[in-house]
Amino acid sequence: MSHVTAVSFSPTGGSQKGALSIARELDPNCSFLDLTLQPPAAREPFGPTDLVVFGAPVYSGRLPSPAAARFSMLRGQNTPCIVTVTYGNRDFDDALLELAQLVTPLGFRPIAAAALVAQHTYGEIAVGRPDQADLEQNVLFAQQVRQKLDQGGTTPPAIPGNYPYREGGAGAFHPRTSEACVHCGTCVRECPVGAIDAEDPSRIDAAHCLSCFRCIKVCPTKAKNMDTPAYRTFAAAFSLKLRERRDNLYLL
Ligand SMILES: Cc1cc2nc3c(=O)[nH]c(=O)nc-3n(C[C@H](O)[C@H](O)[C@H](O)COP(=O)(O)O)c2cc1C
């Protein structure tokens, strides 16, 4: 294997952490292709001796559509890959299967897969995850993948999920903007889908907003928020419902 590349779409960083922790264990000099803010630049296909670690979040049991669209622009040449999705302690439903089936016709060959838990975007769910224990498990998994590759293993992992996939979609929470906004433009630049108006950042294009809350996370003055009674009620109930810790799933 010549070179490992982690490729992720990760508005709040959970999927990136997962993919990178696996890629770095496989190759401390791995490359990183971050597709959160833009599609990939034109590039040569990955080769048969490369290894790609894909990472994307689960949105409503599916891949977020920009993640699918941006990954679709990459090509492999019978390139082994590890597919990972990261979810917020509810379920990953069809997203891992969708990712494997998305990249296969592009020339990638899934040799391992993982569904990893990270803090949920909403409420207080799986706070602090991936934690130390998660990252240690990722390292062990990477070592097992290395072993499989060294032994010439090519069997694809059996990935749970249904096809046709369940109905996906972005969330319906579109962040608000308080008077603390200083029009610095951070949220405009950092929105994965360019949904925030550059002239008036309080205007969010609801048709494109993913409800990923990246703008809330990056806002330096905490002006971006989801501080509404409806959201607070939902978040409290959802957090209660999903309080039981779920385990990562590793498939070889
Ligand atoms: C619109 C939306 C839908 C989501 N749907 C699910 C879901 O179906 N199951 C789940 O467990 N987590 C779900 N989550 C939580 C994310 O998968 C989780 O927070 C993930 O870590 C986000 O990845 P990122 O940090 O790489 O952006 C959803 C989050 C958002 C914003």
State what percent of residues in the chain have pLDDT above 70: 100
Instruction: Round the average pLDDT of the chain to a whole number and report it.
Output: 97
User: Distance (Å, rounded) from C-alpha 93 to C-alpha 98?
Assistant: 10
Query: Measuring CA to CA, which residue among 146, 145, 147 is closest to residue 114?
Result: 145
Q: Which amino acid residue places its CA nearest to atom 30 of ligand 1? A: 59
Which pTM does this prediction carry?
A: 0.98
Q: Which amino acid residue places its CA nearest to atom 2 of ligand 1? A: 59
Q: Are 30 and 3 in contact (CB under 8 A)?
A: yes
Distance in Å, CA 60 to ligand 1 centroid: 7
Instruction: Give the pLDDT band (50/70/90) at residue 1.
Output: low
- Is the minimum distance from the CB of 212 to ligand 1 under 6 angstroms? yes
Confirm whether 3-164 and 176-225 share one CATH topology: no
- Domains of the chain: which residue ranges? 3-164, 176-225
CATH architecture for the domain at 3-164: 3-Layer(aba) Sandwich (3.40)
Q: Mean pLDDT, to the nearest integer, of 190-210?
A: 97
Q: Is the pLDDT of residue 170 over 90?
A: no
Q: Mean pLDDT, to the nearest integer, of 105-130?
A: 98
Query: Measuring CA to CA, which residue among 97, 38, 101, 102 is closest to residue 70?
Result: 38
What confidence tens digit (pLDDT) does each residue in 215-237 have?
A: 999 999 999 999 999 999 999 99
Topology of the domain covering 176-225: Alpha-Beta Plaits (3.30.70)
Q: What are 59's strand-pairing partners?
A: 62
Instruction: Give the pLDDT band (50/70/90) at residue 2.
Output: confident
User: Distance (Å, rounded) from C-alpha 40 to C-alpha 211?
Assistant: 22
Q: Are 25 and 138 in contact (CB under 8 A)?
A: yes
Distance in Å, CA 47 to ligand 1 centroid: 31
What burial class does residue 239 get, using C-beta atoms within 10 Å of its C-beta: 0-12 exposed, 13-18 middle, 19+ buried? middle
The runs of H, that is alpha helices, within the chain are 14-26, 65-71, 95-103, 132-150, 186-190, 214-218, 229-241
User: Distance (Å, rounded) from C-alpha 125 to C-alpha 252?
Assistant: 28
pLDDT at 171: 83
- Is the minimum distance from the CB of 70 to ligand 1 under 6 angstroms? no
Q: Is the pLDDT of residue 10 over 90?
A: yes
CA–centroid distance for 133 within its chain: 19
